[in-house]
Amino acid sequence: MMKLKPLMGALALGAMLAAGPVQALTVYTAGPGGLIKQLADDFKKETGIAVDVFQADTGKVMARLEAEASNPKADVVISASWDSALDLDKRGWLLPYASPNAAQVPAAYKGPSYVAQGLSALAIAWNTKSGTPRPADWSDLARPEFKGLVNMPDPAQSGTALELLSGLQSARGDAAWRLFQDLKRNDMAIAGANAQAMNPVLQGAKAAVFGAVDYVALDNQAKGESIEVIFPSSGTVVAGRPMMILKSSRQQQEAKRFVDFVLSDAGQARVAATYLIPARQDVKAKRPMIKDIKTLPMEDDAQRAGRQSLLERFTALFGRK
Amino acid sequence: MRANTLLVGAAVSALGVLVAMPLGFVLLQAIFPTLAQGSLAQPFSHLARTLSDPVLVELTLNTLKLGACVVLAAAAVGIPLGTLRGLFEVPGARIWDVLMLVPFMIPPYISALGWIMLLQPRGYLQQLLGVHAGPALFSFGGVVFVMTLNVVPVVYFAVSRTMAASGSRLAQVGRVCGGGAWRCFWRITLPLALPGIAASLLLVFAMAIEEYGTPAALAANAGFFVLVTGIERRFSEWPIDLPGASVLSLILVVLAMLAFAWQRRLVKGRGYETTTGKPMRGEAVPLGAWRWPVAGLFAATVAVATFAPLFAIAATAFSRTLSGGLAVDNLSLVHFKAIAAGGSEASRALVTSLALGVGAAAATGLIGVLVAYCVVKTRTRGRVVLDALAVLPNTMPGVVVGVGLILAWNQAFWPATPYNTWGILLLAYCCLLLPYPVRYSHAALMQIGDSLEAAARVHGAGAVTALARILLPLLAPSLGAAMLLVFAVASRELVASLLLAPTGVQTVSLFIWRQFEQGSVGQGMAMSLVTVALTTTLMVVATLWLDRRQGRDV
């Protein structure tokens, strides 16, 4: 038994450290990397409230919330998938809160218990040195010049790719499915999550991403990659990144202050600096805003509810299991 | 006898806390779909829904096919190299050991990405030589190729240490009695090394059926999917399906248990005791004229397994942009500068990861010996269960083990819990990596004659003294290799870390993942390179230090 003592000692010590300062706020968030750190630092400077951050992809954030359900730890959750907010809300996990700073957030990107932190549009990311003609719309990627040269993030793994799929189907119905069939015939590849779809385009193995998350591509472009971000002429989807407070939070006042802060001028400026579209339309950004992008009509609840069967149909079309 | 009872008790409780508890919760989660909400309603309701999926049979067969192919390929590469290293004086043996370990320190998703960037159309190979290997890489064969290179070290180290321990004495007896060199190898040396070979191939099989990133990145568009694909999808597709993922993991567990039973049958009923205290000339046999061809073989293997992916990683890390390609004006230190600028964060992540790696290696080494000792050297009832339990974690995806750990440790009834501290990461790594030391020690203990321990006991040593003074030194080469493997994996583990990371704690793998997530492939690769360089240096220093100590003891 003696041999186990150090381990047990370490565990006990760890547990003691875990108790920590009581008033720290716990935020679970999906990317982008540096943003939450800056927000947390700024928030602490302004309010004196420390923020403990857990950061992962949306799937892991939700899996952790789900596994912790009997003894929740998070106060504020920021996800990259709008559906996750709607679902948590339906299950009654969320605290209703209308932040005074959310007035300038478009109605489509807020609800009684969730509000967008920032927005991103789904775009075509095109490698300018690929030797292909500049695409202007989704359908251009189904042309022979792009045969075998297009990547799409897997809608089963990327919430934003699913938003695009669903948005296109809702707006165009069968025409959308003809487009997907043409893309399939043109050997479009389905490539994991967003970053996995992007890398081959940067190196030149592929020429374009169908449905790239625009802020990552804009950031790549700013760093000197030969990438152009094209918003398709027939319209695209602008996806919100919902921010919500859990009902189980024991620090609801602090959580509300955090949401207020993210939606404040300073917080939204940080959001804009990552090339995301700030949720508040009165905050400036160094990139096209919603009004500059042709968007598809917003989906209603019934259309959103059909996503599971939509995904199954798409999965079957592209032979994925 | 009391000491033995104590040892068994310690082994059982360690396995209970580290393995049985989280895996037990995975099992409960598979049975009770609403377990996470603290309810036991509707037991078994999820089983039918998950298992009625029509593609499940195909996915299971694909998983088996992949596991079998990787095992065969890893055996074909690892056994010959391990044999040469164990029995002969290979020039530069220590260097090959370190270089063979490097592929293990590169996270699988990064090495897959490295291979993609090297071989895809317009990849580095095409930029250098004008040819690419896209079609070959993005296929089932490509998956087997890349995965084999990642796991070969497991076989290589097990075989070389086992061969070195059994030595060539018995084969020489065979030669004296008129057997030819090859005949003696096939009939004497190779069968004696069977425990090590079987143990390492079992580990390889478990790793191959559990790996997600490589098959998904390379073969998904060729239409090849495995069971883990389904598990991962349940973690990314909304709504998250924890019970479904748990059910699918149990299929993986069953597959691994079949492999485990097969391994036991293979090894059973024969004696492997070659370390019996008889004077034995331990030194390796000179290779003579064969030195250089053999060195060439090692160099070729290392060039493909180690330097090819490292080249792709380094090329990306030193390039300003990916689209700029391999060009002099694209050479830049910008990614390393970015890491240095965020200095404190990167170095804290490094320290955390290295500390966790050392901690996991020490803990699993200790517990691994204990468990293997109880299984091989005692007559404890139910020791097969202990042995089987120590294989399981390796076959489950890290994310499922992570969920099990959350369910186990985030319960309100614990007065204190390691959850949400670095302690939970240590627990996760120990759970996931315990199979290495257990299997390696198990194989090594089978070679050690009972007479040695009995002699010590007759001379008045207690069980613990005999273990510490006789068995541990004899185990050291195998155990040391296993602990190096644990350290290598623990210092770069991503999936469980991503799910379990305590708020505010950053490990190297998380740091790198975050760079990728932001679209900074270059920075991610730069950090990978720094980490590999640092871990390699640490391991070289540790090996040299151990060598010198051992030299002094003799």
What's the confidence (pLDDT) of residue B181? 78
Mean pLDDT of chain A: 89
- Mutation site, B32, B323, B358, interface A, largest A CB count within 10 A: B323
Task: Measure Cα distances from B510 to A63, A302, B312, B495, B501 in Å.
Answer: 17, 38, 21, 9, 9
CB-defined contacts A:B, below 8 A: 204
Residue B225 has pLDDT above 50, yes or no: yes
**Domain extents for chain A?**
23-118+240-286, 120-237+295-317
The lowest-confidence range among B197-201, B512-516, B527-531 is B512-516
Instruction: Output the pTM of the full model.
Output: 0.88
Q: Which residue has the tokens 């890398």?
A: A199
State the nearest Cα–Cα gap between A60 and chain B, in angstroms. Answer: 6
Cβ–Cβ gap B117/A83 under 8 Å: no
Cβ–Cβ gap B498/A63 under 8 Å: no
Which of B174-183, B261-270, B524-533 has maximum average pLDDT?
Answer: B524-533
| pLDDT confidence bin for B277, thresholds 50/70/90 | low
What's the confidence (pLDDT) of residue A14? 46
Residue B430 has pLDDT above 50, yes or no: yes
Share of chain A above pLDDT 90, in %: 71
Query: Would you identify the CATH topology of the domain A120-237+295-317?
Result: D-Maltodextrin-Binding Protein; domain 2 (3.40.190)
Cβ–Cβ gap A200/B59 under 8 Å: no
Q: How far apart are CA B67 and CA B82, in angstroms?
A: 21
Residue range B361-370: average pLDDT?
94
Length of chain B: 554
- B67-85 residue pLDDT tens: 999 999 999 999 999 999 9
Task: Measure Cα distances from B368 to B200, B398, B445, B463 in Å.
Answer: 15, 20, 12, 17
Of B55, B120, B323, the CB nearest to A227: B323
Q: How far apart are CA B262 and CA B253, in angstroms?
A: 14
Instruction: Supply the DSSP string of B249-293, one letter for each residue.
Output: HHHHHHHHHHHHHHHHHHHTTS----BSSS----SPBP-GGGHHH
Tally the C-alpha atoms within 13 A of residue A97's C-alpha that lie toward its C-beta: 26
For chain A, helix (H) and strand (E) counts, in that order, are 12, 10
Question: Residue B203: what residue type?
Answer: L
Q: How far apart are CA B115 and CA B312, in angstroms?
A: 7
Tell me which chain A residues have a C-beta less than 8 angstroms from the C-beta of B330. Answer: none
**Domain extents for chain B?**
2-35+51-276+303-553
- A246-297 residue pLDDT tens: 999 999 999 999 999 999 999 999 999 999 999 999 999 999 999 999 999 8
Cβ–Cβ gap B406/A203 under 8 Å: no
Residue B264 or B121, more confident: B121
Task: Measure Cα distances from B338 to A33, A35, A198, B344, B376 in Å.
Answer: 14, 16, 21, 12, 52
Nearest residue in A to B6, CA atom? A1
A120-237+295-317 matches A23-118+240-286 in CATH topology: yes
Tell me which chain B residues have a C-beta less than 8 angstroms from the C-beta of A197. Answer: none
CATH number of this structure's domain B2-35+51-276+303-553, picked from the four choices 3.30.830.10, 3.40.630.10, 3.40.1400.10, 1.10.3720.10: 1.10.3720.10
- Give the residues across from A121 on adjacent strands: A238
Phi, psi of A152 (to 5 degrees): -135, 135
Phi, psi of B96 (to 5 degrees): -60, -40
Residue B93 has pLDDT above 90, yes or no: no
Residue range B181-190: average pLDDT?
81
Give how far the C-alpha of residue B154 lies from the chain's centroid of Cα atoms, to the nearest Å: 7
Residues B409, B417 contacting (CB under 8 angstroms): yes
Question: How is residue B17 written in tokens?
Answer: 């806390």
Of A14, A156, A220, the CB nearest to B237: A156
| pLDDT confidence bin for A16, thresholds 50/70/90 | very low
Tell me which chain B residues have a C-beta less than 8 angstroms from the C-beta of A15. Answer: 416-418, 421, 423
DSSP state of A298: P
Q: Is A104 helix (H, G, I), strand (E, B) or coil?
A: helix
| pLDDT confidence bin for A233, thresholds 50/70/90 | very high
Question: How is residue A143 written in tokens?
Answer: 């042309």
| pLDDT confidence bin for A109, thresholds 50/70/90 | very high
Q: How far apart are CA B533 and CA B512, in angstroms?
A: 15
Phi, psi of B110 (to 5 degrees): -75, -40
Nearest residue in A to B335, CA atom? A223
Residues A190, B138 contacting (CB under 8 angstroms): no
Q: Which residue in B36, B61, B169, B109 sits closest to B447, CA to CA?
A: B169
Q: Which residue in A125, A113, A120 sits closest to A259, CA to CA?
A: A113
Does the A23-118+240-286 domain belong in CATH 3.40.309.10? Answer: no
Tell me which chain B residues have a C-beta less than 8 angstroms from the C-beta of A319. Answer: 223
| pLDDT confidence bin for B1, thresholds 50/70/90 | low
Residues in contact with B153: Cβ distance below 8 Å, sequence separation at least 6, in sequence order: B78, B100, B101, B103, B104, B485
- Give the residues across from B319 on adjacent strands: B331
Tell me which chain B residues have a C-beta less than 8 angstroms from the C-beta of A2. Answer: 10
What is the helix (H) or strand (E) element at residue B8, kind and residue range? helix B2-15
Cβ–Cβ gap A69/B519 under 8 Å: no
- Mutation site, A2, A27, A41, A70, interface B, largest B CB count within 10 A: A70
Cβ–Cβ gap A190/B363 under 8 Å: no
Phi, psi of A115 (to 5 degrees): -150, 145
Of B9, B238, B427, the CB nearest to A159: B238
Residue B372 or B394, more confident: B372
Q: How far apart are CA A86 and CA A159, in angstroms?
A: 13
Quickly count: other Cβ atoms within 10 Å of residue B467's Cβ.
Answer: 21
Q: How far apart are CA A10 and CA B532, in angstroms?
A: 27
- B411-425 residue pLDDT tens: 888 888 898 889 999
Residues A177, A318 contacting (CB under 8 angstroms): no
First-to-last C-alpha distance (Å) of chain B: 31
What's the confidence (pLDDT) of residue B281? 54
Q: Which residue has the tokens 């493909």?
A: B304
| pLDDT confidence bin for B40, thresholds 50/70/90 | confident
Q: How far apart are CA B464 and CA B139, in angstroms?
A: 52
| pLDDT confidence bin for B280, thresholds 50/70/90 | low
Nearest residue in A to B120, CA atom? A205
- Give the residues across from A27 on adjacent strands: A53, A76
Parallel/antiparallel/unpaired status of strands A150-152 and A208-213: parallel
- Mutation site, B240, B246, B249, interface A, largest A CB count within 10 A: B240
